[in-house]
Chains A and B, each alone.
Chain A
Amino acid sequence: MADIQNADVIIVGTGTVGCTIAELALDAGLSVLMLEAGPRVERWQIVENFRNLPPALKANWDAPYPPKPWAPHLETYTDESAAEYLQLEGPDALAYRQGYVRYAGGATWHWAGICWRLTPDDMRLKSLYGVGRDWVFGYDTLEPYYTRAEYTLGVSGPSDPALQWPPIRSKPYPMERLPFGPGEQRFTEAAARVGLQNLPAAQARNSGVSYHDRPPCCGNNNCFPVCPIGAKYDAATTLTKIEAKGGTIRANAVVYRVETGAKNTIQAVHYFDPDKQSHRVTGRIFVIACNGIETPKLLLLSRDEKNPNGVANSSDQVGRNMMDQPKISTQVVMAEPLWTGVGPVQSSSIMNTSQGDFRGVHAGAMIRMENAARSRVGGLAALQKGLVGKALDREIRRLAACTGTFTIEHELLPMAHNRLTLSSKKDWLGLNKPNIYYDVGDYVRRSATSYSVPLLKKLMVELGVTESQIATQFAHSDHIMGGCIMGRDPGDSVVDADCRAHDHDNLFLPGGGAMTTGGSGNSTLTMVALAIKAADAIVGQLGKAARA
């Protein structure tokens, strides 16, 4: 043991959840120490990494983020490299190749910034449709935290309730919606002609003004894999604020064990540094917020005499109910230009297709047009044809303008057999790699067959699509949820309504892992809302202890 560190609140993970809690705890006068497995780098370094990638690799979200040996994450260069860290099995194994980076700032470095809320119905699947689970609380309880999350991240969205999702809000968005480019406008108009409403997305991107010391979005069209100017919220933009408030952030500190003590409270966490030296950190409250895969992995790694299934796992639910939104991607060619690549890489979605009484039978789904510039795709495709001169230029312009990618993301039910366990394979530090069994289930498959794909086909006809390639396999959406599922009953859930572990009074597991259901939209805003609710509980718990 090289050194001993201590703080009121120990936070494992420096993503959006950990950073949100850190700021609120510091604001309440608590001391905070954050432990991050990966390195801490500057934004421009990631931008340079991206710009210096060969064109074919620019589509690999992870390529600008080379992992450190001690903090591996998915690397998608080849099937072999992708199979190196995440061990996947089951009928839809490849659909759980989840993208997240183990860097200070976490996976919001490369998120698209979309901030959909769950709807009231999304939180009552069991009561309304007899499937999945109900949340412990309803939308009314979550709504104030959603609002605080939107003001924390800086979310722009439409002031017109007819364009809001859901239009049940206590305050306006902090910023007005961003404008559409030509592709989104055309997609919206075509959707309307077939009875679908494409909404301007609520998004954590500054719209027209600066917000939280970040500049307005200038349409750099690179939110994914990195916003070059920090107009999009990512947790890395809060790291210096946390330090300015007195918090400590320790990078390259891989927590590998959560230690329990008397009354089964958490005593300490242990981490390895890059020299494989172990360190012990003590505190009063512990927050494990290191991603929906790494958090359950760490809990399972921490089994001890009192907790033979792993920490927080008397229910045997840690690592179960792994969720995402199984995605179907479609590549299309159109007779007329769509023109993507104007504004952010994503800025709108069809959401009302996620709701309906059909949810007793099959999943709802969200449908979206990807707005990333297609000049690279068109350029490489035209070059492969061996064209030269004006014919080459015309073909690049046509293939960039008149092609597109449409995406369907399905709601997945929490199912116990979709499970993360510890692989017998070890990483560089000798820690077990995560192993995940994944089956999207018939609920999702029925949706794709009888509902979501037919809807998209109707829309494609309206858009004048002349050729299409609809994926036959589901893919990942990188929205990792469910592995520390929230519930009232400690016998079938891991955390309570404040993301506090049922088994350990001073252990909080907020984030995607705690989500009871995931809906069809991006999970981040719900994760941050849960983080704020957990932070209130942490501050209240330590305040109560001080008063006692």
Chain B
Amino acid sequence: MPERSVDHPFRDDCPSEYRLFRRRLILGTGAATALAALPGAVVAVVDGAGGSEAGKFMELSALLIDHRLDRDIGARLAAAMSHANAGIEQDIDALLDIAKKKNARIVEDFFPDVPEGRLRDTALAIISAWYSGVVSETQGSEVFAFELALMYQPTRDVMTIPSYAISGPNGWNPSAPPLSDMPEF
């Protein structure tokens, strides 16, 4: 029989443990684990535990990134970034203030007004997290998004997201759309 060891619960042979590990990390309490099965409930849990920080994170994310953003991923990124960066809540408030003063709808409307230094770094870190799907690149870091990570979307009309097929048996060919045809996402 194939082995099912628990030596590396977050790395290889034990997927049920692995998933539990991730949910506990996101939600913080065992009691909340059951809620993780409900899509969309995660934001409410985080909101309930810590005020409206996740809501503000999503509000700022929507201003920084003019694409459809998944709320579950956002809630998890908010929790992880808050955990890793003390004071990020103040940065988010400050960035929202700048955007409001400019009546910004998209990042181009207010990003030039974001000062170099901590605020700009925080804004770029939030963008990077949504695009790369991680808040850290080190070995063992949690991945919050892969197939929905935004950096795979500008080429999704042509390039396969590795391991996820976009055609079928011998269903590809040499044609490709112009570089200027940016997909909607």
Contact = CB atoms under 8 A, between A and B. Distances in A.
B170 A216 contact: yes
Interface string A17-30: 00000000000000
Contacts of A64: 12
A218 B170 CA distance: 6
Interface in A240-280: 251-252
B106 interface: yes
A39 B5 CA distance: 9
A68 B7 contact: yes
A433 B166 CA distance: 43
Contacts of B15: 44-45, 48
- Which of the listed residues B131, B133, B159, B171 has the most CB atoms from chain A within 10 Å of its own CB? B159
A68 B3 CA distance: 12
Given A48-B18, A52-B143, A252 B159 contact: no
Contact of B160 (A39, A182, A373): A373
A383 B12 contact: no
Nearest to B14: A45
B179 interface: yes
Contacts of A186: 174
A397 B182 contact: yes
Given A41-B2, A185-B174, A392 B127 contact: yes
B172 A389 contact: no
Interface in A346-393: 372-376, 378-380, 382-383, 386, 388-390, 392-393
Interface in A397-441: 397-398, 400-402
A250 to B, nearest CB: 11
Contact of B12 (A41, A181, A394): A41
Nearest to B181: A397
Interface residues of B, number: 60
B12 A45 contact: yes
A53 B143 contact: yes
Contacts of A209: 169
B179 A220 contact: no
Nearest to A391: B108
Contacts of B172: 179, 181, 219, 342-343
Nearest to B138: A54
Given A54-B141, A220-B160, A342-B172, A379 B151 contact: yes
B159 A342 contact: yes
Interface string A497-520: 000000000000000000000000
Contacts of B137: 54-57
A40 B159 contact: no
B155 A221 contact: no
B173 interface: yes
B97 to A, nearest CB: 18
A396 B155 contact: yes
Interface string B144-157: 00110101101110
Given A49-B12, A77-B139, A218 B168 contact: yes
Contacts of A386: 124
Nearest to B133: A55
Nearest to A372: B162
A47 interface: yes
A96 interface: no
Interface residues of A, number: 78
B82 interface: no
Contacts of A228: 163
B159 A339 contact: yes
B132 A55 contact: yes
A58 interface: yes
A252 B7 CA distance: 14
A52 B182 CA distance: 27
A341 B167 CA distance: 12
A495 interface: no
A182 B175 contact: yes
A375 B163 contact: no
Contact of A341 (B124, B127, B132, B158): B158
From A52, A66, A397, residue with most partner B Cβ within 10 Å:
A397
B3 A379 contact: no
B13 A45 contact: yes
B108 A390 contact: yes
Nearest to B19: A48
B31 interface: no
A412 B166 CA distance: 39
B151 A375 contact: yes
A66 B8 contact: yes
Interface in B125-140: 127-128, 131-134, 136-139
Contact of B155 (A46, A372, A397): A397
A207 interface: yes
A462 B133 CA distance: 37
16 contacts: A49-B11, A49-B12, A51-B146, A52-B142, A55-B137, A181-B174, A182-B174, A207-B169, A209-B169, A228-B163, A373-B161, A378-B155, A379-B132, A388-B107, A388-B108, A389-B108
Interface of A: 39-42, 44-58, 63-66, 68, 77, 178-182, 184-186, 207-209, 215-222, 226, 228-229, 251-252, 337, 339-343, 372-376, 378-380, 382-383, 386, 388-390, 392-394, 396-398, 400-402
Interface of B: 2-3, 5, 7-8, 11-13, 15, 18, 64, 66, 106-108, 111, 123-124, 127-128, 131-134, 136-139, 141-143, 146-147, 149, 151-152, 154-156, 158-176, 179, 182
